């Protein structure tokens, strides 16, 4: 039998070994790691809400009132007032009949795709979709097809092909992210929505990196473009800009009713702690308030500042610096860390081989000096 040591050695030799880094205090703009203060450009806490006092208080209050754990799965006795309040808030915010929350975004994707798809259905994904969407699609046993990133001609070709061949009862689902997690670019959403309608398919939109950042009430890219009413399944995480943890699907009532009957990660797992749901609700309340708008404006001025310095068009809070091979990415990341900036190296299999990169994420809380300092220490335009 092969030993774990052998596998670890192979990973090391390929420059693909990963290990954990513990940030001792603070996670947002400045953190300490091994006794040093560093500026964190790696968090998805885009608005800084995870350390917001109102969220922390909401979590503490929910814990005192409802306990540290939920005690059972949601369908048994684990559904507590914070879960219900959170889901009502998500549905109201997204303008859908209903919503269902999950322990995290990963479980949401796997749960939704597994619940709605089965053998004989077809799911078509953008090539750069997040691992959880791919895993969910694979586990569903539906036929899985992939189109090159944002290639709407290829998407149309696949839709036409399957629309002509699929029996009437089979489902045809397109899956895309709105802001892509490792490149920070956006889906060509209006075109995708039109194609999905033209070929009578369904659309699952994962707004993980757009929630809180795009749209007048922070709903995401669909709201920004005014197409939210035309998307059957609006999915997202509560662990990034919302500042807590969890995931959600917002949809019409029958789909949500079906989901809670079929989604295995929802059914066979203890409900998330009430503190998590209460903090998520509080995060959404802030995102939809004037303060949320102010935080978004601050984030966007930080995005503009960095993208201008590196000569890119601003499209999201994620700014990749593609370096190519694993070693260069690791060395560059380490050199930055020595200068006091945390910008992680992202390697295969998170990104395709040969496109290892620094993934810089911006937050509303970064200062102009920190961004300029980071830029001065980045390698010359590769
Ligand atoms: C982070 C992410 C998820 C998973 O969300 P978690 O709450 O972290 O599990 C899902 N989809 C995309 C696109 C993501 O970037």
Q: Are 211 and 220 in contact (CB under 8 A)?
A: yes
Sign of the CA dihedral with 225 first, then 228, 233, and 236 last: positive
Q: What is the pLDDT along the chain (382 residues), one digit of tens a residue?
A: 999 999 999 999 988 898 888 877 655 556 666 667 899 999 999 999 999 999 999 999 999 999 999 999 999 999 999 999 999 999 999 999 999 999 999 999 999 999 999 999 999 999 999 999 999 999 999 999 999 999 999 999 999 999 999 999 999 999 999 999 999 999 999 999 999 999 999 999 999 999 999 999 999 999 999 999 999 999 999 999 999 999 999 999 999 999 999 999 999 999 999 999 999 999 999 999 999 999 999 999 999 999 999 999 999 999 999 999 999 999 999 999 999 999 999 999 889 999 999 999 999 999 999 999 999 999 875 4
Nearest atom within ligand 1 for CA of residue 181: 15
> Helices 152-165 and 189-198, interaxial angle, to 10°?
20
Known catalytic residue: 181? Answer: yes
Ligand 1 binding pocket includes 132 (Cβ within 6 Å): yes
SS3 annotation, 44-99 = CCCCCHHHCHHHHHHHHHHHHHHCCCCCCEHHHHHCCHHHHHHHHHHHHHHCCCEE
Which entry of 66, 94, 240, 366 is annotated as an active-site residue? Answer: 240
For residues 205 and 246, give the distance between their C-alpha atoms in angstroms, rounded to a whole number: 17
Does pTM top 0.85 for this prediction? yes
Query: Is residue 171 a contact partner of residue 121, using CB atoms and an 8 Å limit?
Result: yes
Q: Residue 180 CA to chain centroid, in angstroms?
A: 8
Element (H, E) at 304: helix 290-310
| Cα radius of gyration rounded to whole Å, the chain | 21
| Residue spans in the chain of domains classed CATH 3.40.640.10 | 54-287
Atom of ligand 1 lying closest to residue 106 CA: 9
d(CA 338, CA 322): 20
Give the fold, CATH level 3, of 54-287: 3.40.640
Can you read off the two tokens belonging to residue 263?
């989604």
Q: How remote is the CA of residue 361 from the centroid of ligand 1, in Å?
A: 15
Contact 118, 273 (CB under 8 A): no
Contact 382, 62 (CB under 8 A): no
For a mutational test of ligand 1's pocket, the pick from 176, 185, 208, i.e. the residue with the most ligand atoms closer than 8 A to its C-beta, is 208
Query: What pLDDT sits at residue 292?
Result: 98
**Ligand 1 pocket test target in 179, 233, 237, 248 with most atoms within 8 Å of CB:** 237
Instruction: Calculate how far, in angstroms, residue 208's C-alpha sits from the geometric centre of ligand 1.
Output: 6
| Token couple for 369 | 């000096």
219 lines ligand 1 (CB under 6 A): no
**Ligand 1 centroid from CA 165, angstroms:** 33
Q: How many residues does the chain have?
A: 382
Which residues of the chain form CATH 3.90.1150.10?
14-43+290-376
Q: For residue 100, give both structure tokens.
A: 């269902």
Choose, from 66, 83, 130, 209, the residue flagged as catalytic: 209
Contact 242, 287 (CB under 8 A): yes
**8 A C-beta contact, residue 107 and residue 271:** no
Closest CA to 286 of 109, 54, 78, 90: 54
Those residues with Cβ within 8 angstroms of residue 362's Cβ, 6 or more apart along the chain or in another chain: 41, 46, 299, 302, 303, 306, 317, 319, 371
Q: Is 184 in the pocket of ligand 1 (CB under 6 A)?
A: no
Distance CA 362, CA 320 (A): 11
Does domain 14-43+290-376 fall under CATH 3.90.700.10? My reply is no
Q: Supply the pLDDT for residue 379.
A: 86
Torsion on CA atoms 180, 185, 190, 193, rounded to nearest 10: -20
Between CA 343 and CA 320 the distance in angstroms is: 10
């Amino acid at each position: 039998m092969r030993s774990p040591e052998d596998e670890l050695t192979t990973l090391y030799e390929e420059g693909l070994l990963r290990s954990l880094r513990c940030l001792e205090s603070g996670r947002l703009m400045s953190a300490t790691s091994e006794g040093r203060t560093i500026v964190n450009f790696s968090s998805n806490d885009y608005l800084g809400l995870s350390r917001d006092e109102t969220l922390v208080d909401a979590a503490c209050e929910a814990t005192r009132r409802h306990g540290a754990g939920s005690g059972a799965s949601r369908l048994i006795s684990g559904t507590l007032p914070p879960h219900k309040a959170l889901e009502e808030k998500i549905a109201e915010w997204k303008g859908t009949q209903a919503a269902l929350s999950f322990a995290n975004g990963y479980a949401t994707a796997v749960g939704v795709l597994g619940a709605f798809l089965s053998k004989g259905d077809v799911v078509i994904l953008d090539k750069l979709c997040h691992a959880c969407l791919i895993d969910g699609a694979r586990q569903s046993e539906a036929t899985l097809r992939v189109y090159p990133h944002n290639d709407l001609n290829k998407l149309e070709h696949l839709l036409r092909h399957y629309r002509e061949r699929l029996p009437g009862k089979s489902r045809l689902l397109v899956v895309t992210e709105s802001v892509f997690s490792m490149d920070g670019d956006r889906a060509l959403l209006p075109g995708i929505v039109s194609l999905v309608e033209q070929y009578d398919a369904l659309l699952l939109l994962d707004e993980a990196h757009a929630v809180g950042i795009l749209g007048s009430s922070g709903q995401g890219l669909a709201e920004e473009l005014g197409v939210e009413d035309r998307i059957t399944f609006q999915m997202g995480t509560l662990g990034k800009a919302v500042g807590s943890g969890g995931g959600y699907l917002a949809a019409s009532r029958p789909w949500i009713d079906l989901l809670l009957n079929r989604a295995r990660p929802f059914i066979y797992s203890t409900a998330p702690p009430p503190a998590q749901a209460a903090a998520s609700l509080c995060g959404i309340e802030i995102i939809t308030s004037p303060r949320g708008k102010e935080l978004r404006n601050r984030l966007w001025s930080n995005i503009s500042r960095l993208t201008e310095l590196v000569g890119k068009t601003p499209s999201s809070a994620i700014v990749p610096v593609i370096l190519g091979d694993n070693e260069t990415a690791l060395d560059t990341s380490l050199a930055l860390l020595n200068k006091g900036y945390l910008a992680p190296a992202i390697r295969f299999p998170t990104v395709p081989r040969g496109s290892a990169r620094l993934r810089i994420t911006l937050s509303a809380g970064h200062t102009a000096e920190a961004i300029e300092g980071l830029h001065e220490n980045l390698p010359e335009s590769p």
